[in-house]
Structure 1
Amino acid sequence: MSIFRLSPPYLAGANHVTLQMMQVLLALVPAVVAMVYFFGYGVLVNITLAVAVALATEALMLRIRERPVKPFLSDGSAVVTAVLLALAIPPLSPWWLTTVGVVFAIVFAKHLYGGLGYNPFNPAMVGYVLLLLSFPVEMTTWLPVASMSQQPVDLLMAISYVFTGQLPGALTLDTLSGATPLDAMKTQISQFRPPEVIMNQPLFGMFSGKGWEWVNFWFLLGGIYLIYKRVISWHVPVAMIGTLFVISGIFQLIAPDLTGTPMFHLFSGATMIGAFFIATDPVSGSTTLKGRLIFGAGVGLLTFVIRVWGGYPDGVAFAVILMNMLVPLIDYYTQPRVYGAR
């Protein structure tokens, strides 16, 4: 007579992939609301399209790889990748731009390496970098904040432009778009204008660009929520933000006309979403505590270098991917000492 016996523990853990992904999406909600408020409904159109394409591509790849569709499709990882990529591209990006970025991220940066848990690079950032290198004009055409826009873009206008490329009347995207704060700061510094003079322009707020500083603030609060819920650890965000703050502070003291203030760098561009939602990817990031500090510091340093001396206004995506390449080396040299070993 066989006796069926269960092995302990009998309680299932609550820390699984789906729950973590849902927590990440929840933490993104305040920043998404802020982006819609400042940059219009195109943000929601991007997110909706990106999620639909990501789920369809994920299902197709699972079928091709002969993997069960439902458990992998419902884990939330494809949705998080889609949302992060959608938030990183301009609000009125054409539908094909979003589609290309999401498909590339899911297929080439995720499934061709073996799927979730095997990708050495952050899929959302791989898709973003592909778009930035291939379509620089479309990827740098951002709308100004709503309070500075001469023609607010409503939901129907956003849908029309994203899917047809048409705007009502004589409006064109060029008449609606403008430079981002990072782009304006970088361009005008190259023209030998002092940063303090640049910051007095209408594009800028208290210490960063109007709208951008509030979006970054809500990403910061969302990241603190993730740390509180233990979805991510504090090591990468603190190391990245701290390094960016210190290095920009040093250069403000020794070369004040070279770059903006530390607060400008912290609350501009993709700093906060990069620190809390992208660089903290548990798959493509470092797995050791010391390694996470090194990884975060490297992202912060490279972000500053690219912003000041590189060819692009922001450098978070490139910094994350470059540090992803170093993760095996970082993990190798930061393994904790085995208990009892000398």
Structure 2
Amino acid sequence: MLNTFTPLQRIMFKVMLALVPGIAAHAFAFGPAILLQLTWCSLVAIGLEAIMLAWRNMPLKPFLTDGSALLTAWLFALSLPPNAPWWLSMVGLFFAIVVTKQLYGGLGNNLFNPAMVGFAVCMVSFPAQMSQWLSPLALQTHASGDVTLLHMLWHPAGLDGMTSATPLDHMKTSLHGGLEMAKALPAATLQQGWPWISLGYLVGGAWLIHQRVISWHIPVAVLGGFCTLASLLWLGDSSRFAPPWFHLQFGAVVLGAFFIATDPVSAPSTRKGKLIFAGLIGLLSYLIRVFGGYPDGVAFAVLLMNLCAPLLDHYTQPAVFGHRSRGQT
């Protein structure tokens, strides 16, 4: 079937296929609301893409079927609470598809990762709605058993009993409340579905490397930069800082390393540039997560480094034969 696709369609299809293990783990641990969120975001993204293409007098079929809008929708949906209200998805995708992608000239011209711009706008503008994550199925009370899948998307008032803080939120709140890591960590790890989700994304990301859809440079550098700083601080003061394996199990660092930071449009193209770019994403993600005002910093770290991608490409281009490389005198 893939032989009938264009090269771009094959890449987009493989990336979405690689997301399936993480999505399946999410649905198994937290219920099927994530599937409806993915469907809703996909429809909204395709609709916004079609409107903008028509407004720009561009042909609809080649751009609507290239898979880029769908992939943006999926990555954005996976960064949202599965029970986020319908209008929140529309706001985020408006900034992702219309502002970040189409107003910059379409795929290949955007400076920033579209899905992460949508997420950042929602996180900064609507922090309350962005913090309402579903509890694992094992912790959801029977009192909420009458909440349907459609209700989860449209966020009725009765859904509050099914939501809880994420492990990262819980740990940060506990530490700010004066608890030491030895007491904060066990309580934060009760939501056992998250490690399986991260493992699913790790498996999918490794498959993408095997398929040569992405190179190893960015994922390895993101995880390496993140874990290096996490290990140093944990070894220096384990009463205040969580071990690196806790951070890898919870939050978006694995998803970000394999599926977000690797966006070829908004990342550097040289090997050295990719390593610097990704290593700094890992460091910034940890610093924002631990010392910043948000429980996870992957999106903000990616956007900050998107700004630096052209500069990194400029200074890391290999020298042309017979010429000095940039920076040499």
Q: Deviations over 1:202-258 (max 9, x none)?
A: x515xxx51111100110010000000010111010000011111100001112222
How many percent identity over aligned positions? 46
Match of 1:142 in 2: 133
Match of 1:204 in 2: 189
1:235–1:37 Cα change, 3 Å: same
Cα distance, 1:13 vs. partner? Answer: 12
Residue correspondence of structure 1 range 330-341 to structure 2 within 5 A: 330-341=312-323
Equivalents in 1 of 2:101, 2:49: separation in Å?
A: 10
Determine helix, strand or coil for the equivalent of 1:117. Answer: coil
Equivalents in 1 of 2:232, 2:142: separation in Å?
A: 41
Cα distance, 1:157 vs. partner? Answer: 1.2
Per the normalisation by structure 2, the TM-score is 0.94
Determine helix, strand or coil for the equivalent of 2:133. Answer: coil
Equivalents in 2 of 1:219, 1:65: separation in Å?
A: 36
Match of 2:40 in 1: 49
Residue correspondence of structure 1 range 254-333 to structure 2 within 5 A: 254-333=236-315
Cα distance, 1:200 vs. partner? Answer: 2.2
Equivalents in 2 of 1:122, 1:329: separation in Å?
A: 17
Determine helix, strand or coil for the equivalent of 2:186. Answer: coil
Corresponding residue pairs, total:
322
* Residue 98 (structure 2) aligned to one of 86, 107, 122: 107
1:13–1:161 Cα change, 3 Å: closer
1:152–1:339 Cα change, 3 Å: farther
Cα distance, 1:268 vs. partner? Answer: 1.2
Determine helix, strand or coil for the equivalent of 2:100. Answer: coil
Determine helix, strand or coil for the equivalent of 2:300. Answer: helix
Contact 1:90 / 1:141 at 8 angstroms: preserved in 2?
yes
Determine helix, strand or coil for the equivalent of 2:72. Answer: helix
Equivalents in 1 of 2:149, 2:143: separation in Å?
A: 10
Tell whether 2:236 aligns with 1:248. Answer: no
Tell whether 2:112 aligns with 1:126. Answer: no
Residue correspondence of structure 1 range 26-45 to structure 2 within 5 A: 26-45=17-36
Match of 1:7 in 2: none
Equivalents in 2 of 1:121, 1:192: separation in Å?
A: 38
Q: Give the aligned residue type for 1:251.
A: L
Contact 1:185 / 1:260 at 8 angstroms: preserved in 2?
no
Match of 2:327 in 1: none
Contact 2:33 / 2:152 at 8 angstroms: preserved in 1?
no
Determine helix, strand or coil for the equivalent of 1:109. Answer: helix
Q: Deviations over 1:139-161 (max 9, x none)?
A: 01111111122249779712124
Residue correspondence of structure 1 range 62-101 to structure 2 within 5 A: 62-101=53-92
Contact 2:209 / 2:216 at 8 angstroms: preserved in 1?
yes
Q: Which has the larger radius of gyration?
A: 1
Q: Give the aligned residue type for 1:211.
A: G
Deviates more, 1:118-127 or 1:143-152: 143-152
Contact 2:251 / 2:296 at 8 angstroms: preserved in 1?
yes
